[in-house]
């Protein structure tokens, strides 16, 4: 840049006269920082006007000085409270130079950035804690949802299988109502007459006591035939049993020792249904 | 002019003012209040109100001295802006325009109140300054002391804006030579 042209443009005179826009003012302040010759000319002009102004004084009534100084307090470094709103070019003093604080040499000065940093880390810690909590919550929720999902899927599969069996014309449905031991009980045998596969649908049956297990029997030619043990978890699922003889005339369930017995204990018969 | 500030360099003065030192503020007042008052009176044309404005302006200077940045300009320029702006605000709050009634007819009016003459050497210098060509001096006074913009001065005196600008510049350059700065 040609600083000579700039100096001779008259902008510096306008600046010291206070006759420039704020944009021009910034420009002058910036260029006078960069170019020493601009700064020098600016200072000369300022000094010129200062001398000029000092030549044109109006005497001030003497009492005015007392009036003014009576409103001022001195000594303490504490800054006057009101910030400068006089000129946009001059930076407002930072709030925080509070009047109560006497900044001695040992006075702890906490700059704004330090307080902001502390505040930021506190916020971060809070956020991290919250995020971790949310995370564990979400994880727990996920696990719960997964469990619910698999249960629903099991149930759906169970219902689908049930429906398929009931709809299948080959499947003979044998209802086994509860006997005296447990009148509320009901178990249904789904007997595929073509394949002789037998599925059990336990709708209601007391939980087997410890060391005991239910066992399914069929009656073929007047004799009980073992059809296999019921899984201890018999609710809401179809239990696949041994294949039946086509000549079975009845199904029954007894409570036996765990692992089963070669012959049914007739006193412990819970349900029974005729084909 | 060195005799006008026997106690402080500008740097020391600013430093002491920022320390809120009473002696420094008294020096500031004694040294500059006449010049500031002159400007305020010219803008207001009401010496009683001008006293209030000077009071406000000086308190503003005291309250905001910490925000004064020496890198941006001299202390007096900063103070003068505060004084002039306070005066302009006061005039505008009355719904008036900062004006200079008859300056065009009486270019020397700006000096009529300038009775404060600290020394003969200053007197000589003042005489010298008064040899500034009147049309330039009027412009400097109009813009500098009375808060006119250059556009307003151009209108007021019915002089093209470009001429206003060049005359002001020439006037200041002349002054610079007078003061041998």
The Cα–Cα gap between B116 and B35 comes to: 10
Judgement on whether residues A263 and A185 belong to the same structural domain of the protein: yes
Do residues A196 and A145 both lie within one domain?
A: no
Q: Domain span at residue A150? A: 122-167
Q: How far is CA A112 from CA A103, A118, A122, A142, in A?
A: 16, 10, 15, 43
| Mutation site, A50, A62, A82, interface B, largest B CB count within 10 A | A50
B8 near A CB under 8 A: no
Residues A162 and A177 in one domain: no
Residue A88 lies in a domain: no
* Element of type H or E holding A218: strand A212-220
- Kindly state whether residues A177 and A266 are assigned to the same domain: yes
- A126 falls within a domain: yes
User: Domain boundary at A36, A56, A76, which?
Assistant: A56
* Residue A262 and residue A219 share a domain: yes
Domain count along chain A? 3
A197-238 pLDDT, tens digit per residue, is 999 999 999 999 999 999 999 988 888 899 999 998 888 888
Query: What are the tens digits of pLDDT across the range A69-85?
Result: 999 988 765 444 444 44
The architecture that CATH gives domain B1-99 is Orthogonal Bundle (1.10)
Express each pLDDT in A9-57 by its tens digit: 888 888 887 777 888 888 888 888 888 899 999 998 888 888 888 888 8
Distance in angstroms (rounded) separating the CA atoms of residues A148 and B132: 99
Give the percent of chain A with pLDDT over 90.
34
Quick one: how many helices (H) and strands (E) in chain B? 8, 0
**DSSP helix/strand/coil, A261:** coil
CB contact under 8 A, B181 and A64: no
> Residues B14-28: pLDDT tens digits?
999 999 999 999 999
Mutate to test the interface with A, among B40, B113, B144, B151 (most CBs of A within 10 A): B144
> Where residue A104 falls among pLDDT bands split at 50, 70, 90?
very low
For residue A153, tell me if it sits in a domain: yes
Of residues A86 and A66, which shows the higher confidence score? A66
Query: A216: helix, coil or strand?
Result: strand
The pLDDT, as a whole number, for residue A21 is 80
Give pLDDT, residue B99. 53
* Complex-level ipTM: 0.74
CA atoms of A128 and A126, how far apart (whole Å): 5
Contact B43, B103 (CB under 8 A): no
**How many CB atoms within 10 Å of residue B178?**
16
* Domain-ending residue, one of A136, A167, A198: A167
User: Among positive and negative, which fits the CA dihedral B22, B25, B27, B30?
Assistant: negative
Residue B82, number of CB atoms within 10 A of its CB: 21
- The distance from CA B21 to its chain's CA centroid, rounded to whole angstroms, is 24
The answer to whether B51 faces chain A, any CB pair under 8 Å, is yes
Quote the mean pLDDT of chain B.
Answer: 77
Residue A94 lies in a domain: no
pLDDT for B3 equals 41
Contact yes or no for A112/A97 (Cβ under 8 A):
no
Residue of B62, B126, B172 with shortest CB distance to A72:
B62
- pLDDT value at residue B97: 63
Which residues belong to CATH 1.10.1740.10 in chain B? 1-99
**In this model, does residue B154 exceed pLDDT 90?**
no
Number of H helices, E strands in chain A: 6, 8
Residue A18 lies in a domain: yes
Q: Counting every residue, how long is chain A?
A: 275
pLDDT given for residue A95 in this prediction: 46
The answer on A235 and A205 residing in a single domain is yes
Same-domain check for residues A143 and A176: no
- Which of B66, B73, B111 faces A56 most closely, judged by CB atoms? B111
Cβ contact A226:A180 at 8 Å: no
Q: What residues contact A8, with CB distance under 8 A and at least 6 apart?
A: none
A205 and A240 within one domain: yes
pLDDT in tens, B26-51: 999 999 999 999 888 888 888 889 99
Whether residue A269 is found in the same domain as residue A223: yes
Instruction: Tell me: do A43 and A128 sit in the same domain.
Output: no
Per-residue 3-state assignment (H helix, E strand, C coil) for A124-180: HHHHHHHHHHHHHHHHHHHHHHHHHHHHHHHHHHHHHHHHHHHHCCCEEEEEEEECC
CB A273 within 8 A of CB A251: yes
- pLDDT recorded at residue B33: 94
Asked, for residue A75, whether it belongs to a domain, the answer is no
Residue A78 domain-assigned (yes or no)? no
Q: Is A271 helix (H, G, I), strand (E, B) or coil?
A: strand
Cα angle at A165 between A163 and A171, to 5 degrees? 150
Phi, psi at A223, each rounded to 5°: -125, 145
Residue where a domain terminates, one of A133, A149, A167: A167
What pLDDT was estimated at residue A107? 53
User: How does DSSP classify residue A43?
Assistant: H
What percentage of chain A has pLDDT greater than the value 70?
88
Q: What CA–CA distances, in Å, run from A126 to A121, A129, A131?
A: 8, 5, 8
The verdict on domain B119-180 having CATH code 2.60.40.420 is no
* Contact (CB, 8 A) for B75 and A43: no
Average pLDDT, integer, range A97-110: 50
Is residue A206 situated within a structural domain? yes
Choice between B106 and A56, residue whose per-residue pLDDT is larger: A56
State how beta strands A186-192 and A171-177 pair.
antiparallel
Delimit the CATH 1.10.10.10 region(s) of chain B: 119-180
* Angle (nearest 5°) at CA A138 between A136 and A143: 95
Q: Model's pTM, two decimal places? A: 0.50
Calpha distance B124→A160 (Å, rounded): 118
Give tens-digit pLDDT for A111-147. 788 888 888 888 888 888 888 888 888 888 888 888 8
Contact A10 B165 (CB under 8 A): yes
Least Cα separation, residue B139 to chain A (angstroms): 11
Same-domain status, A146 and A223: no
Same domain, A262 and A233: yes
Which chain A residues are closer than 8 Å to B114 by Cβ?
A: 55-58
Q: What is the DSSP letter of B52?
A: H
């Amino acid at each position: 840049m040609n600083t000579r042209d700039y100096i001779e443009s008259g902008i510096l005179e306008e600046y010291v006269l206070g006759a420039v826009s704020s944009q021009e003012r910034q420009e002058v302040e910036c260029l006078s920082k960069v170019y020493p010759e601009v700064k020098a000319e600016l200072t000369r002009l300022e000094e010129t006007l200062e001398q000029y102004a000092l030549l044109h004084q109006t005497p001030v009534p003497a009492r005015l000085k007392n009036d003014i100084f009576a409103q001022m307090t001195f000594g303490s470094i504490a800054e006057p409270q009101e910030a400068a709103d006089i000129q946009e070019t001059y930076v407002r003093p930072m709030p925080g130079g509070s009047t109560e604080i006497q900044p001695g040499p040992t006075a702890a000065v906490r700059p704004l950035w330090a307080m902001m940093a502390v505040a930021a880390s506190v916020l971060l810690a809070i956020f991290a804690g919250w995020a971790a909590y949310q995370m564990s919550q979400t994880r727990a929720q996920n696990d719960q949802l997964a469990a619910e999902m698999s249960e629903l899927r099991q149930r759906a599969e169970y219902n689908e299988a049930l429906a398929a069996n009931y709809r299948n014309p080959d499947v003979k449905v044998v209802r086994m109502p509860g006997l005296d031991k447990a009148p509320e009980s009901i178990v249904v045998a789904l007997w595929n007459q073509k394949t002789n596969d037998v599925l059990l649908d336990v709708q209601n049956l007391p939980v087997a006591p410890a060391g005991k297990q239910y066992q399914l029997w069929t009656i073929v030619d007047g004799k009980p035939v073992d059809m296999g043990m019921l899984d201890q978890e018999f609710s809401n699922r179809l239990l696949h049993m041994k294949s039946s003889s086509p000549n079975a005339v009845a199904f029954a369930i007894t409570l036996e020792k765990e692992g089963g017995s070669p012959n049914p204990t007739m006193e412990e018969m819970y349900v029974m249904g005729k084909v | 002019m060195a005799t006008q500030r026997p106690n402080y360099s500008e740097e020391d003065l600013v430093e002491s003012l920022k320390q809120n030192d009473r002696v420094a503020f008294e020096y500031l007042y004694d040294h500059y209040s006449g010049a500031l008052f002159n400007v305020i009176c010219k803008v207001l044309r009401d010496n009683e109100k001008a006293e209030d404005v000077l009071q406000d302006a000086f308190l503003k200077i005291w309250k905001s001295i910490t925000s004064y940045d020496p890198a941006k300009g001299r202390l007096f320029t900063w103070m003068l802006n505060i004084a002039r702006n306070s005066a302009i605000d006061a005039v505008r709050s009355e719904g008036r325009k900062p004006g200079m009634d008859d300056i065009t007819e009486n270019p020397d009016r700006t000096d009529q109140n300038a009775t404060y003459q600290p020394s003969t050497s200053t007197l000589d210098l003042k005489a010298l300054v008064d040899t500034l060509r009147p049309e330039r001096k009027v412009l400097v006074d109009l813009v500098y002391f009375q808060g006119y913009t250059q556009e307003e001065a151009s209108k007021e005196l019915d002089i093209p804006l470009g001429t206003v600008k060049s005359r002001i510049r020439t006037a200041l350059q002349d002054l610079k030579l007078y003061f041998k700065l």
